[in-house]
Amino acid sequence: YETTESSARFYCAEVVLALDAIHNLGYIHRDIKPDNMLLDARGHLKLADFGTCVKMDKDGLVRSDTAVGTPDYISPEILKSQSTTGVYGREVDWWSVGVFLYEMLLGETPFYAESLVGTYHKIMNHRENLAFPEEIPLSTEARSLICAFLTDRSIRLGKNGVGEVKAHLFFTNHTEWTWETIRKGINKKKMKKTEN
């Protein structure tokens, strides 16, 4: 991967907007990953594959006894729901956004292991296993956002709504676009550079 931070910010922001729409409809996606993201003719990101989507109850929660999602992107609280009734909310999608951003900027998922058991162990022990390779430059804002997503659900960014995600410095400390203008167009040259 050679995704610039500018491109990563743009595509991450588009995922934020897509999730906001899904969450406002009362659903949790539960399988946010690059394979479920498509680009339209204008270069805008669209979420796909709603097979694991589930309707939230009136409290914004889901009760499930099945761990669903893709191993590298699955949140600890979904893993904990395996064989027992787990209760979780929108925060599971924000965890996956953190994995997606990490992968765009660093070229691999943060908790990858050679085995499924190893990956799940790293996710469940994320406090000890989240690391940033020193040889890859990463802004303070990008690191902060990733850490804010890949943390305990009780303090995870997005838990209290999309507003706190949109207000993060990673999204506000630049001049490329605003939340109001992002869907109006993209720079075709930047898109071609990202594709190459």
Catalytic residues: 31
- Please give the Cα distance from 141 to 147 (Å, whole number): 10
- Please give the Cα distance from 163 to 90 (Å, whole number): 13
CB 14 within 8 A of CB 184: no
HSE value, Cβ hemisphere, 13 Å, CA-based, for 60:
12
CA dihedral 178, 33, 195, 165 (to 10 degrees): 20
Which residues touch 132 (CB under 8 Å, ≥6 apart)? 106, 138, 143, 146
Which residues touch 158 (CB under 8 Å, ≥6 apart)? 90, 91, 93, 94, 97, 149, 164, 165
3-state helix, strand, coil in the chain (%, to 5): 45, 10, 45
